[in-house]
Amino acid sequence: MNVAGEAVPQQLLFSRTRTLELPATQVVEFWRGGRRALSVAAARAHLRPSDALVLYVPGWWNTPDDPSSQAIVNALMTKHSSVHLLDTRLSFCRGYVTAVSNVPPLSHLLFGFIKKLHKSGYPVSSIHLIGFSLGAHVAGFTGKLVRNKLNTTLGRITALDPARPCFARPEYRLARDDAQFVHVIHSSTGVLGIEEPLGHADVYVNGVRGRQPECQDRSISLECDHAQAWKLYSASAVNEKSLMGRRCSSWEELLRDECSGNETAVGYSCSSDEHGMFLYKSKYKPAAPEPRLQVFNPFNFLRWPFRGAET
């Protein structure tokens, strides 16, 4: 499989939604001081029309207890009395292509959950789906089903670095029509994450091509770049000023890292009135390398006079 994702016939993957066996997926409900794992039907029964539904869909090889899920849930709990998480382990903790093939059935499962809520009078416009990596496409595909089959629209989708491999073709991935407001944070563009704008508001972390400065000294920098999306979003739920960006007037301005629009909150508190592309520049400054101790070699005349350390 190449990074561009063209090696996988997506029309085959996405035409198998009725034949794939979907594992017994659960929904985990978190509240202050507790949690419980529920069947999808039981989770639906616990929701009242007055409750806002905020549901997180983890990505490939993520679990309810890994750092990404815990950071997102804990941050959201500062804003909401309860948060739900779709436990994707049985579908996504597999080989990547198999995990991709499970995006449609997971989306159909989530759509069925929302459909039953809708029929019971629950306002679909109050639903906020948040997805990381593959989870972002589950959120998007679910939004498509809601729009096409229920003739209504999800309130909000937040997509944290939507996965690129196997999602190169626009018709099989997250799109701006999938919710009333689609908010995208891009942190590993063109490799693990999609480069093109996908939503109403697209936030580019340190530009389109740059590596994340927090990841410069990591042996697996791509994975680290990918993770910056959920790290920044979770931090912004606690402190909205931690993720501020400037609007870009054009793609060319974004490519030059010279966006000159007014600074605005582009994380959790991003207003649905904010449309366009935004540039966030990290305030992180890599630490200067520590001096390395040098052993004096009297036969190395290029090192005379001996300075003792190299900076």
Task: Please report the pLDDT score of residue 51 as a whole number.
Answer: 85
Task: Please report the pLDDT score of residue 5 as a whole number.
Answer: 47
Q: Is 280 a domain residue?
A: yes
DSSP 8-state secondary structure symbol assigned to residue 277: E
Task: Please report the pLDDT score of residue 94 as a whole number.
Answer: 94
Task: Please report the pLDDT score of residue 3 as a whole number.
Answer: 42
The dihedral through the CA atoms of 92, 95, 97, 101 has a sign that is negative
Chain CA centroid to CA 70, Å: 14
The torsion region of residue 139 among left (phi > 0), alpha (psi -120 to 50) and beta comes to: alpha
| 106, 114, 153 from 144: Cα distances, Å | 13, 12, 8
Task: Please report the pLDDT score of residue 285 as a whole number.
Answer: 67
Active site amino acids = 133, 161, 226
Q: Is 262 a domain residue?
A: yes
* Cross-strand partners of 27: 38, 86
Q: Is 57 a domain residue?
A: yes
Task: Please report the pLDDT score of residue 289 as a whole number.
Answer: 52
How many angstroms separate the first and last alpha carbons of the chain? 42
d(CA 150, CA 115): 7
Q: Is 3 a domain residue?
A: no
User: Is there a contact between 286 and 213 (Cβ–Cβ < 8 Å)?
Assistant: yes
Q: Is 217 a domain residue?
A: yes
Find the radius of gyration of the CA atoms of the chain. Answer: 22
Kindly give, in sequence order, each residue whose CB lies less than 8 Å from that of residue 221, ignoring residues fewer than 6 positions away: 211, 212, 215
Q: Is 130 a domain residue?
A: yes
| 26, 72, 93, 121 from 23: Cα distances, Å | 9, 24, 12, 28
Q: Is 227 a domain residue?
A: yes
pLDDT tens for the chain, 311 residues: list them.
344 444 444 554 555 444 345 668 999 999 998 999 999 989 998 888 888 899 999 999 999 999 999 999 999 999 999 999 999 999 999 999 999 999 999 999 999 999 999 999 999 999 999 999 999 999 999 999 999 999 999 999 999 999 999 998 888 899 999 999 999 999 999 889 999 999 999 999 999 976 799 897 766 678 999 999 999 999 999 999 999 999 999 999 999 999 999 999 999 999 999 999 999 999 876 655 555 444 444 444 444 444 444 43
Domain count, the chain: 1
Structure tokens given for 13: 């993957």
CA neighbor of 104 nearest in space, from 6, 205, 16, 206: 16
Domain range enclosing 258: 10-310
Q: CATH number of the domain that 86 lies in?
A: 3.40.50.1820
Q: Is 75 a domain residue?
A: yes
Task: Please report the pLDDT score of residue 23 as a whole number.
Answer: 61
